[in-house]
Structure 1
Amino acid sequence: MRVLLAGLCTVDVVQRVSEFPAPGEKVQSLRVDVAAGGPATNAAVTVAALGAGATLVTVVGAHPLAALAHGDLIACGVDVVDLDPDRTDPPPVSAVVVRDSDGERTVVSRNAAADAPLTVGDVEPLVRDAGAVLVDGHHPELALAVARAARSLGVPVVLDAGSWKPVLERLLPLVDVAACSAHFRAPGASLRERGVPVVIVTAGPDPVRWSSAEDSGQVPVNVVGARDTLGAGDVWHGALAHAVASGRASVPGWIRHANAVAAVRVRHVGPRSWTAAISELGEGVR
């Protein structure tokens, strides 16, 4: 089984601290991690950790910082298709501070919105091998190309909705499953009113709600002690795409799977330490 994930790749510099610094204050961090980040990227790491094939289609480039992202993704077992391997500009960098006591984080980042338009070639061969695709919309041309190819091949399209982006006006008609947080706001009609077959809404510790043309419901989240919430939503989306690709029959089943994987992530400190603990979930979740 393979999942294709298309979207943003960043370099995350993560500082873990006892308390968030006040304006103008300098503090010593408890630990530092450097890893590849971004919604589609963290989702790809999740799919690989769950034992499936993960292909990440993104832009990393040839800047020295890009080598950090490439090295991390190779170590995680993610296959990377770089659409602009000769790009000399630095990749997007996220500065992250995580509070040690509860895993809460602050993030300062730059996404791909201000980058030059991306030229996307034929992605159909990549999509053809996938059981599902996930798009995060950060590279609009890429998201549309992958979603169109998936629609023509009958491959399910999962959207990590994140925040509203202009490309969603064109992308939503191609989406089979849209997952967003309770803070997501679409201008005008709702996602279901726009024709998205399945809409899933997460709300932190509150139950995950879902709706389709046939039914609706909610699934409680796993109650755990959070140590690190960085990227937990991305991990959840990656596990959702993994569940869709695996052919699990029900939307509640997809959500239970994603909840279980995200619960493992937040119990572990650091952007990658949790991946080795996926075996705790047993074969049923794989």
Structure 2
Amino acid sequence: MRLVFVGLATVDLVQRVDRVPGVDEKAEALSTEVAAGGPATNAAVTAAALGAEVTLVTAVGAHPLGDLIRADLADCGVTLLDAGPHATAPPPVSAVTVLDGTGQRTIVSRNARDVAVGVPEGLDAVLSTADAVLADGHHPALARAAARSGRPLVLDAGSWRPVFADLLPHAGFAACSAAFRPPGERPAEAALRALGVRRGAITHGPGPVRWWSGDAAGEIEVPPADAVDTAGGGDAFHGALTVAVAQGADTVEALRYAVSIAAVRVRHRGPRSWLAALRG
């Protein structure tokens, strides 16, 4: 199974604390880890751990911080296609603070809003062999290329970006967070249906997942999980969903699988320790 993930790559500095400091306060971290992050990147790492042959298409560049991303992706079995290999600016950095008692996280990130990249040579060939493609809406030129590829397209729609107007009509499966709000007054599901999305879901964290497929619709309960780290839980969901879509799973089957993998993620501390549970 060959999968392509298109979108954001960051350097994530993940610190675990027993309390989140207030303004002008300090807190000593219980632990500190550095890993590659970003929605498409975390989803790609998940899919690779589930046994897929994975390529991540993103922008990393030549800054020394990019070496952290490249090394982590290599360790996770993800092939990198860098759309901006000669860029000298540092890649985006995310500061992730995880509250030890609850697993809840706070994230400060610049993402890639100041990074403009074109379509790299070889992307069409990579996309042409994919059994499914995921795009997270970051790096619009790359996302549009993924949408035009004609391969089964999964959209990770965390929050509205203008590029989604171009992507949604091509979506084979649109997986949206509860915070996703297309322009206009319609509820998200109605707006997405109007944009031509025939198959999709809206997640609500630990709450039920609302889904639709054609004229059918329903909800899937999320089983209780003893969460110790919710950072990247949604990304793991999208990575597993892409695996399921590539395997031809129906909507409910695909979502149940994705929910089960996300539950594994949130029961483990740190960005990478949980992957052993998938490979084992």
TM score, norm. by length of structure 1: 0.93
Find the counterpart in structure 1 of residue 90 from structure 2: 90
Find the counterpart in structure 2 of residue 77 from structure 1: 77
Offset at 1:212? 2.1
Q: 1:109 and 1:229 mapped to 2: Cα distance?
A: 17
SS of residue matched to 2:46: helix
Offset at 1:119? 4.3
Q: 1:120 and 1:53 mapped to 2: Cα distance?
A: 20
Q: 2:271 and 2:277 mapped to 1: Cα distance?
A: 13
SS of residue matched to 2:274: helix
SS of residue matched to 2:193: coil
Offset at 1:32? 0.3
- Superimposed CA distance per residue, residues 13-71 of structure 1 (whole angstroms, 9 cap, x where no aligned partner): 01100010111111110000000000000000000010111110001111000000111
Aligned length: 275
Letter of the 1:68 counterpart = L
Q: 2:169 and 2:121 mapped to 1: Cα distance?
A: 21
Letter of the 2:235 counterpart = D
Q: 1:141 and 1:20 mapped to 2: Cα distance?
A: 37
Letter of the 1:132 counterpart = A
Offset at 1:118? 3.0
1:156 aligns with 2:157: no
Contact 2:115/2:139, CA 8 A, preserved across alignment = no
1:169 aligns with 2:170: no
Offset at 1:279? 4.4
Matched ranges for 1:85-234 at <5 A: 85-121=85-121, 123-149=123-149, 151=150, 155-188=151-184, 190-234=191-235
Percent identical residues: 55
- Superimposed CA distance per residue, residues 235-257 of structure 1 (whole angstroms, 9 cap, x where no aligned partner): 10111011001122x10000010
Give ranges in structure 1 of 5+ residues lacking alignment.
281-286
Contact 2:158/2:179, CA 8 A, preserved across alignment = no
Q: 1:6 and 1:199 mapped to 2: Cα distance?
A: 19
Contact 2:119/2:145, CA 8 A, preserved across alignment = no
Contact 2:83/2:117, CA 8 A, preserved across alignment = no
Q: 2:41 and 2:96 mapped to 1: Cα distance?
A: 16
Letter of the 2:29 counterpart = S
- Superimposed CA distance per residue, residues 225-281 of structure 1 (whole angstroms, 9 cap, x where no aligned partner): 000001111110111011001122x1000001000100000000000000001146x
Find the counterpart in structure 1 of residue 241 from structure 2: 240
Contact 1:120/1:145, CA 8 A, preserved across alignment = no
Offset at 1:2? 1.2
Q: 1:30 and 1:175 mapped to 2: Cα distance?
A: 41
Find the counterpart in structure 2 of residue 275 from structure 1: 275
Letter of the 1:27 counterpart = A
Offset at 1:213? 1.7
Letter of the 1:32 counterpart = T
Offset at 1:121? 4.0
Give ranges in structure 2 of 5+ residues lacking alignment.
none
Offset at 1:128? 1.8
Moved more, 116-125 or 216-225: 116-125
SS of residue matched to 1:192: helix
Cα RMSD (Å) = 1.2
Contact 2:116/2:139, CA 8 A, preserved across alignment = no
Q: 1:209 and 1:121 mapped to 2: Cα distance?
A: 39
1:33 aligns with 2:29: no
Letter of the 2:167 counterpart = L
Q: 2:67 and 2:18 mapped to 1: Cα distance?
A: 30
1:62 aligns with 2:62: yes
